Structure 1
């Protein structure tokens, strides 16, 4: 059986056997459970406990009504939940006193699942923006993902901070739609032609446009050569650009060819360097967002990665997008949005300790008698059976 599914069942079984365990699970939310029926039952159990159900004050035995009322409450929101199902959940719990440890496992699975879902959504937003010539959806999706990471870090009890992974994830190749790729290539080629034909236009883009913003690395290297000539105050034309490319080893390595340089310098048409540069930046924003999203998804799908490391590695994967976003804001004459530091407020220390519970030795909990005295399909087995 799936270990995460067993952990979800064990948490619910622990609370069915011992309602007092809910006092140690205040940091665990219904949405952290993967199955809707488990979400509904945990919601019902929390509601009954908050409403001071008689079982909440029971000391020696748990009344059968605790199970039947929880099943009835949850059954209003989800189908298929029966008293026998609740009995199965109780039987799946080895020891109710270990509920915080089981809950931590559930939270760990929820962290991986939530980060994966938001990374997929960011990737979809980035591709949609690329096709529509926008960036707002991708940037908004990145902000949502960052907020999710900060919230999960507080729930897990760790400090959210970007940390580079020892071995970067290896997502598959990025394959943009052909029509979009052709449009991007045409814009980049036209911009380089304008900059080569009218070198003074470099002043319009040099402060915020970088070689890595070009989708084609070869065109990015041409822009690097143009920037070097501009920085040194040397004349720019087909010959000087070709010579600069040779000095940088780009011709010998096959990165560029004389024909590519000639095509850029001879194919110039009318255009604004600033406007064309903004289009290149727009493409860079959505492309970087897609790459970040795919890297984060690859991290989240690694079940062996601990939640704290996953969160911090995911924040690091968003860093390239932050840098591109800053320059995009500069290109549009707006100050870059500041990302506020994570709020120090979060769950109380006791809840954080519970969330980070390990398998440390605990005193053996006293047996919890099953609800009611008469045998019934809905009856819950005594805790002593789990200690055998």
Structure 2
């Protein structure tokens, strides 16, 4: 028993019994039907109505020509349709007046099916693009999927808006490719070894863009040092790692940290950062589309929640995409040369504010040293980018 096939047969049977029901189904399109025979027959019925068929304009019993002409018109576009099947459709309709309800069932099935098809296409393009080293196709099909979600929402009569599902689907972790791991390791080495390199990526690269969570934590520590205007090298980075408890809780081992010493530290930070965020965009697209597919394949989920939950699942992809475009939408930014850079690094006011936020709440000031700020000042949360 297939409820969707029953609904498709019932809505067609209702229109064959009562052509006036087409006026209540303006929002239903032929491609919303699953079977090609049903698509062709519904398109033929709409065409006959548009051409002013006597069955539509006349009164009294519906003439047999309404059925035979519809079958003849549909037979021009599809094979296998017979007059006997059309009469079977008539018998499959319990009440012709229920055609709008049957139509909404057909539309609901079409929404699930269409979202699934485009999610699969985006998934395939994302994985293929990762092998080719490009994301343009992924971004294109992400736009297509967004449009696919907007059109059914309009037809269904709901306002499309991102809504988190009650149960958040966990992403399936995958091992990063060797090329991605190398790019991340080289980038961290460059950021540690070359003064000012963090300035080239800090505006658009985030810790979550790293496939390796441990490297993401190291980048977070580098971002915190940069935000506070403190010098960056292996020693200050190790100190920040210890302050955040990453050594004590086992997140980072001495061996993993020592890998930074093997980095050449003489590469283009901006180029490496773009490689990292490109990989992040692909992974995010795959994770988002897996969530959309799981939602679309849940037949118990109504079209409204499906559309809104799917839009929510695409939210992380939109966020990474915005930063990807920021990384490519302006001329390459280079760190100032040592001869022209300010000895104080970031602006003084920014450094002072950052140091005040990171100062202990009530630590006494050593003799002869300036107090970092009022003892009663509550520390503010660290930077939303890296804190």
- TM-score class, shorter: 0.7 to 0.9
The counterpart of 1:208, out of the listed 204, 209, 219, is 204
Computing the radius of gyration from Cα coordinates, the structure with the larger value is 2
Aligned match of 2:32: 32
Question: Equivalences for 1:102-121 in 2 at 5 Å?
Answer: 102-121=102-121
The number of residues matched between the two structures is: 331
1:238·1:262 contact (CA, 8 Å) conserved in 2? no
Aligned match of 1:349: none
**CA deviation vs aligned residue, 1:213-261 (integer Å, no higher than 9, x gap):** 1111111011011111222233333232222222212222222111111
Matched residues in 1 for 2:231 and 2:79: separation? 75
Aligned match of 2:270: 274
Question: Equivalences for 1:218-297 in 2 at 5 Å?
Answer: 218-297=214-293
2:222·2:232 contact (CA, 8 Å) conserved in 1? yes
Question: C-alpha displacement at 1:52, in angstroms?
Answer: 1.1
2:133 is aligned with 1:133:
yes
Question: C-alpha displacement at 1:74, in angstroms?
Answer: 0.8
Matched residues in 1 for 2:261 and 2:34: separation? 58
Question: Equivalences for 1:20-169 in 2 at 5 Å?
Answer: 20-169=20-169
**CA deviation vs aligned residue, 1:199-222 (integer Å, no higher than 9, x gap):** 410011111110001111111011
Q: Aligned with 2:177: secondary structure?
A: helix
Matched residues in 1 for 2:170 and 2:200: separation? 36
Question: Higher relative contact order at CA 8 Å, sep ≥6: structure 1 or structure 2?
Answer: 1
Aligned match of 1:16: 16
**CA deviation vs aligned residue, 1:327-368 (integer Å, no higher than 9, x gap):** 111111359xxxxxxxxxxxxxxxxxxxxxxxxxxxxxxxxx
Q: Aligned with 1:207: secondary structure?
A: coil
In structure 2, stretches of 5+ residues that fail to align are 332-387
Q: Structure 1 residues 334 and 305, CA, compared in 2 at 3 Å: closer, same or farther?
A: farther
Matched residues in 2 for 1:34 and 1:247: separation? 60
Question: Equivalences for 1:189-204 in 2 at 5 Å?
Answer: 189-204=185-200
Matched residues in 1 for 2:6 and 2:217: separation? 54
1:170·1:298 contact (CA, 8 Å) conserved in 2? no
Aligned match of 1:377: none
Matched residues in 2 for 1:316 and 1:213: separation? 19
**CA deviation vs aligned residue, 1:256-307 (integer Å, no higher than 9, x gap):** 1111111123322431001100111111111111111111111111111111
1:187·1:280 contact (CA, 8 Å) conserved in 2? yes
2:308 is aligned with 1:315:
no
CA-atom RMSD in angstroms: 1.5
Matched residues in 2 for 1:49 and 1:321: separation? 44
2:160·2:307 contact (CA, 8 Å) conserved in 1? yes
Matched residues in 2 for 1:175 and 1:86: separation? 51
Matched residues in 1 for 2:294 and 2:195: separation? 42
TM-score when scaled to structure 1?
0.82
Q: Aligned with 1:61: secondary structure?
A: coil
Matched residues in 1 for 2:244 and 2:328: separation? 32
Question: C-alpha displacement at 1:170, in angstroms?
Answer: 4.5
The counterpart of 1:186, out of the listed 163, 182, 205, is 182
Structure 1 runs of 4+ aligned residues shifted over 6 Å read none
Matched residues in 2 for 1:254 and 1:262: separation? 15
1:237·1:265 contact (CA, 8 Å) conserved in 2? no
1:242·1:258 contact (CA, 8 Å) conserved in 2? no
